[in-house]
Amino acid sequence: MIPIAKPYLDKEDAQAAYETILTGWITQGPRVQEFEEKFAKYTGAKYAVAVSNCTTALHLAMIVSGISEDDEVICPSLSYIATANSIKYTGATPIFAEVCPETYNLSAADTETKITAKTKAVLLVHQMGMPAEIDAFKQLCETYNLKLIEDAACAVGSSYKGKKIGSHSEIICFSFHPRKVISTGDGGMITTNRPDYYERLKLLRQHGMTVNDRVRHESSKVIFEEYVEVGYNYRMTDIQAAVGIKQLDKLDWLIEERRKIAAAYYKAFRDIDCIRLPEEPSTCYTNWQSYSIYLKKNAPIDRNTLMQKLLDEGIATRRGVMTTHRELAYSKTHGNIKLPVSEDLHDRSIILPLYVPMKEQEIQKVIDVFLKLIR
């Protein structure tokens, strides 16, 4: 069976977790701090704050950006549901805009049409690791005085205009879920260049507490913490961070390996006229978190039958990225909107297996069976 994805975790990662457990300091301690420092350096951001996952990262990003009830935040519907949920947690309303069919990323032109007097921010997703047009959105947000928040859950290690995702705008959120390119089990990270955001994020992730456990532990004087606002428990554990440090060392290599597999798919499929392959814009360097192929109307097989036939031959696939407005959680409030591009992309796209290490014969099998079924 060829799976859709699998995390790359090795003995070194396991050893790091093992050693951390034996140190006796297992949450929000020295490993978390080291992971944050390394992550900030890697992305080129001034600060990084580790949290429990990307959904909690996005929630905190909303709060520090000042999003609250009565606000509107524009985001794609074509995204994992956590994108819109993070807006809902603040009491604000997600407003769904269309994406570009070539990149699956938010369209700046359609986003502009959705701006109202209530709009406070744009939540820009780098879908499946492909960087969105950050500069166009920075311009748009400046023009309309909006906050820009990046959902880079899938985009760790990807670059836009020669710079790693993580320092182009004010606040960027990452995921280390096993379905992403590097993993800490669950886990998330927020990067920012703003010292005020950095300080508040550290408070909010740990109950609004002014002095963390580690500082109290290391102090030779008795110190008392204060709780200055209602915060959350969105901590990352040191066990996760120890794994994250080792994963980060392997990230560039993992991306190179992923790009070789994507290149093999591109070479094998590029002449087939009934499909559209994902294209990397010249400004972007993607980590290929997922490889999604769109079936045009003249395809000889429908998407779901294709998925079943691939599965029958031992190849797992997934349908295209979900449309949030058509899920029950949102269809009651957002069900009457129409997003034809997003809906069509979801309905007609198929995600192929892509993971490291993917054996030569596994890649070839996916190519051969896919070609047989699509021709």
Ligand X SMILES: *Cc1c(COP(=O)(O)O)cnc(C)c1O
- Does 209 interact with ligand X (rule: CB under 6 A)? no
Where does this chain touch ligand X (CB under 6 A) — which range of 76-84, 115-123, 224-232, 262-270? 76-84
Of the pair 154, 262, the CB lying nearest ligand X is at 154
Cα distance between residue 278 and residue 34, in whole Å: 36
Q: What is the dihedral of CA 98, 102, 62, 202, to 10 degrees?
A: 170
Contacts of 199 (CB under 8 A, 6+ apart): none
Nearer to ligand X, 81 or 274 (CB): 81
Closest approach, Cβ 177 to ligand X, in A, equals 4
The verdict on 342 binding ligand X (CB under 6 A) reads no
How crowded is residue 337: how many other Cβ atoms within 10 Å of its Cβ?
13
Can 180 be counted among the known catalytic residues?
yes
Residue 131 binds to ligand X (criterion: CB under 6 A): no
Nearer to ligand X, 79 or 237 (CB): 79
In this chain, which stretch among 49-57, 90-98, 200-208, 337-345 interacts with ligand X, using CB under 6 A?
Answer: 49-57
236-272 per-residue burial string, b: 16 or more CB within 10 A, e: under 16: bbbbbbbbbbbbbebbeebbebbeebbebbeebbeeb
188 counts as binding ligand X under rule CB under 6 A: yes
Residue 239 and residue 226: Cα distance in Å, rounded?
Answer: 27
**CB of residue 137 vs ligand X: minimum separation in angstroms?**
15
- Among the listed residues 105, 242, 263, 103, the one whose alpha carbon sits nearest the alpha carbon of residue 176: 242
Binding mask 286-325 for ligand X (x = CB under 6 A): ----------------------------------------
Six-digit token pair at 209? 């507490």
Among 32, 50, 95, 125, binds ligand X (CB under 6 A): 125
Residues 6+ positions from 14 with CB-CB distance below 8 Å: none
Helix (H, G, I), strand (E, B) or coil at 310: helix
Residue from 78, 124, 153, 351 that binds ligand X (CB under 6 A)? Answer: 153
Q: Per rule CB under 6 A, is residue 355 in the interface with ligand X?
A: no
82 binds ligand X, rule: CB under 6 A: yes
Of 43-51, 79-87, 225-233, 338-346, the segment contacting ligand X by CB under 6 A is 79-87
Distances (CA, A) of 138 to 12, 46, 173: 40, 19, 16
Catalytic site residue from 147, 164, 180, 250:
180
The site for ligand X, by CB under 6 A, has a size of: 14
Least CB distance from residue 204 to ligand X, whole Å?
Answer: 16
Report DSSP state, residue 73.
Answer: E
One-letter amino acid at 9 equals: L
Binding site for ligand X (CB under 6 A): 53-55, 79-80, 82-83, 125, 151, 153-154, 175, 177, 188
